[in-house]
Amino acid sequence: MALHFILQHLDSPGSYARILFVDFSPAFNTIVPALLRDKLFQLNVPDSMCSWITDFLTDRRQSVRLGTHVSDFRNISTGSPQGCVLSPLLFSLYTNGCTSGHQSVKLLKFAEDTTLIGLISDGDESVYRSEMDRLVSWCSMNNLELNCLKTVEMIVRFRDDPAPLPRVILCDSPVTSVESFRFLGTTITQELKWEQNILSRGCISCSS
């Protein structure tokens, strides 16, 4: 669906797409139970379920084992447990309100994997950059920390010898540009071709 969204746009002369692969610093660990409860109410989740989830996330006792050493137990009231089957669902519900405000920019979310796709025409990137700022602001208001060093961008444009484009800035840092990215198990390249993905799957198959 996302590739079709991009390919349709690239049929127009002078058009290209910028794809921002967003990385969150420990995503599940930053969920605020009180904020999640408010969001669940807005989604018409029954009160009893909201209370159960809030109780589940609040005052959890946790310790850490490293080799033969075990830390003291501490109470934790932020985040959702790593490895818990509920955590991806709770994070998806927590970020449900994070959406794109313009039809030329699509925000894709799958648990903590988030991708911002901007369709650029005539070199005008103002909407895409505005949506990036909007995403940063939303994350800040909802206690989500963007990992700007691991967030990368890929530019897709079908032109011979294209002129370099200015890098985007996220959290006062220039975002690294990549030629390919492995997203949800699929390798996506700037040319939107499948050879690299097929080769990587062949290597996995050979090693298994």
pLDDT score for 190:
74
Judged on CB neighbours under 10 Å (0-12, 13-18, 19+), 109 is middle
pLDDT score for 50:
94
| Crossing angle of the two packed helices 47-57 and 33-42, in degrees rounded to 10 | 160
Determine which helix (DSSP H) or strand (DSSP E) holds 165, and give its type and residue range. none
pLDDT of the chain, 208 residues: tens digit per residue:
577 778 888 878 888 999 999 988 877 888 999 999 999 999 999 999 999 999 999 988 888 889 999 998 888 888 888 788 889 899 999 999 999 989 999 998 887 889 999 999 988 999 999 999 999 999 999 999 888 888 999 998 877 656 778 888 888 889 988 888 887 777 787 776 766 666 666 655 555 5
pLDDT score for 138:
94
User: Residue type at 197?
Assistant: N
Two structure tokens written together for 8: 């349709």
pLDDT score for 197:
61
pLDDT score for 29:
83
pLDDT score for 39:
95
Rg (CA), the chain: 20
Q: Tell me how long the chain is.
A: 208
